[in-house]
Structure 1
């Protein structure tokens, strides 16, 4: 990939886990962006630290653990946009909502995070329990 160090924003939809090393290479090359949108992240690969990312949008399908893993690699994050994420996928693997919510948003982020945007909420019990457990 050519030099993309001047890139300010990027949007990626990862619909397949084949050739995951190429996705990992792409993420590494765009690690300097300030605005990042990522959806359908079906694989676990070496994750670069996105030290400049101020705004992150996570959408579509994510597996438990990947969501938090991505957030942990954005230490300067100020704005988090969550779009169409099914919380039931996460809750099914946790023993309680308290344990679940403590793992979803890393504690270190709470000092920088100023805004959370939650889009396309279905308003079901899982959505309401998620927001009820967080005291931002």
Structure 2
């Protein structure tokens, strides 16, 4: 698990779910942007988002398919294989959202990412 910031585009509308005890949580799917670094090949990844915090759930529910935003949270890279063939599937990122941030990509491109202010440092 890695704590970090990811930016991307929402692929599907967020979906509200409930635990057995009735606690609300929200799931969503996004394309996580990859950025070129040196000669490395750039690849966008699939991201599966889950949010438990009430404020984050409310923010995520207001997002629409195609919205671009950033997520601060815990990232777990998952590499799966097809059970029938053993062929590796593309890497997927499981993201536990702690905070959503609009405008981070734009601000970062202008040299004003302000990540420490977002984190409250």
Scaled by the length of structure 2, what TM-score is found?
0.23
Structure having the larger proportion of residues in helix: 1
Q: Which has the higher contact order (CA 8 A, sep 6+)?
A: 2
Structure having the larger proportion of residues in strand: 2
